[in-house]
């Protein structure tokens, strides 16, 4: 059982994400070291920490030897309010590189061609989600709020709900089956569990319903999740006895009360786009993933379009009726809403005042004197449209040779998901393009593209943002894109132009940007030209609009709004419990 942590406050918030915000390393003497990261989610949750008792549950990024776990767990909890979910290297690999980043990530970003569906990845995804559910359910107490983050954990709400309401029979069944396949994928088991041939996607039916998977109407009254129905009968003695005529919700409440875990609210936020149902329906396990999150009280997306796509997928794939703001499912009401995330702009405004950053900025200004700078900052990911960005620069320089030698693109590319093949291919493609364009327009004194394939420290990043006359975001799809927010926050002096892809969630909010379609290379090249030639008054007025928005809709405001909404919800359908 979990030890208690932190100061006792009335409301407990448990945040669950794939990665813990702490990096663990071990030195040559066997000493463990911990480093808190400063990602967007960390700042977003800082507001909630002020008023709630707060714990973060997640994968620590590596397996820790059994003998060291007690010490590591204690330090994580006491010093960082974090608790780890350990996964074997194989499960972690198939869950993270496999199902999450080779299946869900490409599909959610409209790259079905890059999706490599593999039944073994799906099993590992379920096992990892199960491991998370076990840890979280052990930790949960009555009245807790659990906030699940992102596409790595889309089965967790369902698994958690069934565990805390006593219906763990399914959990055991899945575990048993997973146990059988651990040493390698057994084709018979895959067929059993998934109802399909291993490695082969089940063909969607004409009407958008899965074939070979049971329909929602066929689900037993107890509310057994569909995907877990297999030939193995559930252990009989685990199911509690209910009076006749109770709705699933009432049964869940009854069991939860008995276990002292009533009133646990579950929220889910997707940080990526949710694609149109026409793309989403490609996913072989499309029903299971939707059912996985429908057990939430609140489901959040960055934009209205993503929320709408989710609801229409529930209608088309599960045959469920939806409301504009949610969906009733098994006697519960899952509210669906739009919560665009932000950043803490003051971190950049204040960061820029630091002497070290100012000195670096001056040095860079001297280095690039007489030359305009365009900045690009992206994880090296195929959704970021880096090849499109490079092509547009090439077209711009071809059509405006007067700019050769007078503008540079500084492209910072943070290495990302390098075990996944598509990321390795992208790296080779980008290297080649950079070489070709630099070879074509460069001289001994001048290179049009400065490409850095590395993570840079915050001070360097801030100085680069402040230096740049324009920022170029060319994502072909992007949940939000916080780089645009960071650039705007660093531009109080220069008022540089923000050139932003209309396919990034940020385009819905950042009024004052030059919007582009990155697939349209000519218009992107024209936008680069417009950005560089824009007069100071126009730039100032654009920047003021943008900074106003970024300062108001901060990361902290996002976290607090979501959690406040979750606190308000009862899980009951608007018209009261069904049944």
Contact residues for ligand ADP, defined by CB under 6 A: 377-379, 412-414, 455-456, 461, 480-483, 486
Outline where DSSP puts E strands in 189-325: 265-269, 298-301, 322-323
Edge to edge, the sheet with strand 470-473 lists 449-452, 407-414, 372-379, 470-473, 497-501, 514-516
Least CB distance from residue 407 to ligand ADP, whole Å?
20
Least CB distance from residue 271 to ligand G6P, whole Å?
4
Residue nearest to ligand G6P (CB): 271
Q: Where are the alpha helices (DSSP H) in 353-450?
A: 355-367, 386-399, 421-441
Q: Which is nearer to ligand G6P, 108 or 403 (CB)?
A: 108
Least CB distance from residue 15 to ligand G6P, whole Å?
13
Residues 6+ apart with CB under 8 A from 304: 338, 508
The partner in contact with residue 480, picked from ligand ADP, ligand G6P, none with C-beta cut-offs of 5 to 8 angstroms by kind, is: ligand ADP
The partner in contact with residue 116, picked from ligand ADP, ligand G6P, none with C-beta cut-offs of 5 to 8 angstroms by kind, is: none
Q: Where are the alpha helices (DSSP H) in 57-206?
A: 66-80, 89-93, 105-108, 119-139, 156-164, 169-181, 187-194
Asked whether position 272 contacts ligand G6P by CB under 6 A, the answer is yes
Please name every residue paired with 147 in a beta bridge, in sequence order, or none if there are none. Answer: 15, 267
The partner in contact with residue 461, picked from ligand G6P, ligand ADP, none with C-beta cut-offs of 5 to 8 angstroms by kind, is: ligand ADP
Least CB distance from residue 480 to ligand ADP, whole Å?
6
| Among 5, 13, 19, 104, interactor with ligand G6P by CB under 6 A | 19
Asked whether position 417 contacts ligand G6P by CB under 6 A, the answer is yes
Q: How far apart are CA 480 and CA 486, in angstroms?
A: 12
The partner in contact with residue 409, picked from ligand G6P, ligand ADP, none with C-beta cut-offs of 5 to 8 angstroms by kind, is: none
Asked whether position 416 contacts ligand G6P by CB under 6 A, the answer is yes
Q: Which is nearer to ligand G6P, 155 or 532 (CB)?
A: 155
The partner in contact with residue 377, picked from ligand ADP, ligand G6P, none with C-beta cut-offs of 5 to 8 angstroms by kind, is: ligand ADP
- Give just the sign of the alpha carbon dihedral 516, 522, 525, 530: negative
Q: Which is nearer to ligand ADP, 53 or 474 (CB)?
A: 474
The partner in contact with residue 150, picked from ligand G6P, ligand ADP, none with C-beta cut-offs of 5 to 8 angstroms by kind, is: ligand G6P
As a whole number of Å, the end-to-end CA separation of the chain is 36
Residue 459 has which token pair? 């001070």
Least CB distance from residue 412 to ligand ADP, whole Å?
4
Asked whether position 95 contacts ligand G6P by CB under 6 A, the answer is no
Vertex 441: Cα angle to 437 and 447 (nearest 5): 85
Residue 85 has which token pair? 């979910």
Each residue 453-492 as x (binds ligand G6P by CB under 6 A) or -, in order, gives --------------------------x-------------
The partner in contact with residue 501, picked from ligand ADP, ligand G6P, none with C-beta cut-offs of 5 to 8 angstroms by kind, is: none
Least CB distance from residue 228 to ligand ADP, whole Å?
32
Q: Is the Cβ–Cβ distance between 135 and 193 less than 8 Å? A: no
Of 356, 351, 354, 396, whose CA–CA distance to 374 is shortest? 396
Q: How far apart are CA 372 and CA 331, in angstroms?
A: 59
Q: Is the Cβ–Cβ distance between 379 and 430 less than 8 Å? A: no
| Number of amino acids touching ligand G6P (CB under 6 A) | 7
| Among 271, 332, 389, 495, interactor with ligand G6P by CB under 6 A | 271
The partner in contact with residue 272, picked from ligand G6P, ligand ADP, none with C-beta cut-offs of 5 to 8 angstroms by kind, is: ligand G6P
Q: Which of residues 132-171 bind ligand G6P (CB under 6 A)?
A: 150
- Listing DSSP states for 307-348 in one string gives HHHHHHHHHHHH---EETTEEEETTEEEEEEE------HHHH
**What residues make contact with ligand G6P under the rule CB under 6 A?**
19, 150, 271-272, 416-417, 479
């Amino acid at each position: 059982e979990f030890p208690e942590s932190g100061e006792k406050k009335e409301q407990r918030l448990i945040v669950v994400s794939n990665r813990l915000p702490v990096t663990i390393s071990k030195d040559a003497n066997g000493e463990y070291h911990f480093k808190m990261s400063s990602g967007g989610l960390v700042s977003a949750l800082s507001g909630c920490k002020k008023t709630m008792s707060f714990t973060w549950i997640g994968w620590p990024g590596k397996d820790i030897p059994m003998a060291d776990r007690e010490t590591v767990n204690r330090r994580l909890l006491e010093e960082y309010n974090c608790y780890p979910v350990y996964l074997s290297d194989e499960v972690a690999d198939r869950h993270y590189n496999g199902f999450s980043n080779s299946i869900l990530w490409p599909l959610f970003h409209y790259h079905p061609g890059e999706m490599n569906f593999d039944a073994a990845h799906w099993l590992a995804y379920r096992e990892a989600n199960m491991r998370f559910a076990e840890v979280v359910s052990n930790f949960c107490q009555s009245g807790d709020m659990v906030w699940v983050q992102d596409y790595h954990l889309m089965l967790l709400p369902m698994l958690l709900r069934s565990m805390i309401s006593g219906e763990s029979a399914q959990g055991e069944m899945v575990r048993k089956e997973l146990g059988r396949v651990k040493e390698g994928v057994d084709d018979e088991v895959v067929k059993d569990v998934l109802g399909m041939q291993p490695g082969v996607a089940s063909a969607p039916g004409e009407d958008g319903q899965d074939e070979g998977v049971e329909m929602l109407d066929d689900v037993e009254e107890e509310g057994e999740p569909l995907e877990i129905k297999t030939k193995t009968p559930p252990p009989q003695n685990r199911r509690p006895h209910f009076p006749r005529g109770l709705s699933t919700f009432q049964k869940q409440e009854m069991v939860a009360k008995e276990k002292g875990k009533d009133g646990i609210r579950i929220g889910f936020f997707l940080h990526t786009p949710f694609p149109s149902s026409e793309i989403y329906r490609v996913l072989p396990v499309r029903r299971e993933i939707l059912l996985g999150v429908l057990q939430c009280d609140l489901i959040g997306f960055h934009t209205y379009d993503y929320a709408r796509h989710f609801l229409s997928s529930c209608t088309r794939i599960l045959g469920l009726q939806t409301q504009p703001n949610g969906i009733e499912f098994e006697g519960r009401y899952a509210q669906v809403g739009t919560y665009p995330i932000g950043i803490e702009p003051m971190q950049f405004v204040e960061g820029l005042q630091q002497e070290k950053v100012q000195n670096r900025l001056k040095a860079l200004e001297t280095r690039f004197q007489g030359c305009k700078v365009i900045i690009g900052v992206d994880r090296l990911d195929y959704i970021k449209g880096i090849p499109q960005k490079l092509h547009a620069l090439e077209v711009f320089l071809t059509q405006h040779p007067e700019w050769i030698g007078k503008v540079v693109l500084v492209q910072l590319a943070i290495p990302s998901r390098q075990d996944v093949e598509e990321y390795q291919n992208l790296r080779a493609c980008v290297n080649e393009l950079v070489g070709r364009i630099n070879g074509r327009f460069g001289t001994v004194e001048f290179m049009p593209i400065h490409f850095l394939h590395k993570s840079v420290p915050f001070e360097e990043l801030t100085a680069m943002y402040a230096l740049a006359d324009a920022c170029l975001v060319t994502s072909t799809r992007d949940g939000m894109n916080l780089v645009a927010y960071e650039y705007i926050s660093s531009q109080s002096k220069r008022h540089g132009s923000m050139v932003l892809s209309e396919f990034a969630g940020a385009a819905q909010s950042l009024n004052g940007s030059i919007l582009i379609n990155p697939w349209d290379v000519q218009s992107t090249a024209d936008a680069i030209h417009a950005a560089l030639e824009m007069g100071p008054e126009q730039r100032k007025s654009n920047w003021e609009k943008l900074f106003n928005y970024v300062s108001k809709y901060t990361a902290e405001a996002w976290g607090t709004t979501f959690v406040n909404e979750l606190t308000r919800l009862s899980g009951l359908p608007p018209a009261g419990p069904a049944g």
